[in-house]
Homo-oligomer: A and B are copies of this chain.
Amino acid sequence: MSTAEVFAALGDPVRLRLVERLGAEGPLSIHRMTEGTAISRQAVARHLNVLRDAGLLHDERRGREHVFALEPRRIAAARRHLETISAQWDTALDRLRAYVED
């Protein structure tokens, strides 16, 4: 659930594509998510569990299907984290410039 864990979860091309699909198509079952990939259902299921453990997805059993859906608040939190770094960078550069001119 840490910030690094969120980025690590997004840092695999397969998982990033799964997140993009969930964002574009809405909630999907493991079986549906496996369609269009070159890997097995178990591999996809493990990727989805990683994303859920990172807080990026939430899951629900619907009959014999296991449906995963996006958790947009986690994505928003990661976005804000990157925003903070960029903002600090600007002030750090200003301080560096003042130091060099001094």
Contact = CB atoms under 8 A, between A and B. Distances in A.
Which size bracket describes the interface of A in this complex?
Answer: 35 or more
A10 interface: yes
A14 B22 CA distance: 30
A95 B27 CA distance: 11
A16 B8 CA distance: 10
Instruction: Please give the count of copies of this chain that the complex contains.
Output: 2
Given A4-B11, A4-B12, A25 B85 contact: no
- Looking at chain A's contact residues, the main secondary structure is helix
Interface of A: 2-13, 16, 19-20, 22-27, 70, 72, 75-76, 78-79, 82-86, 88-89, 92-93, 95-96
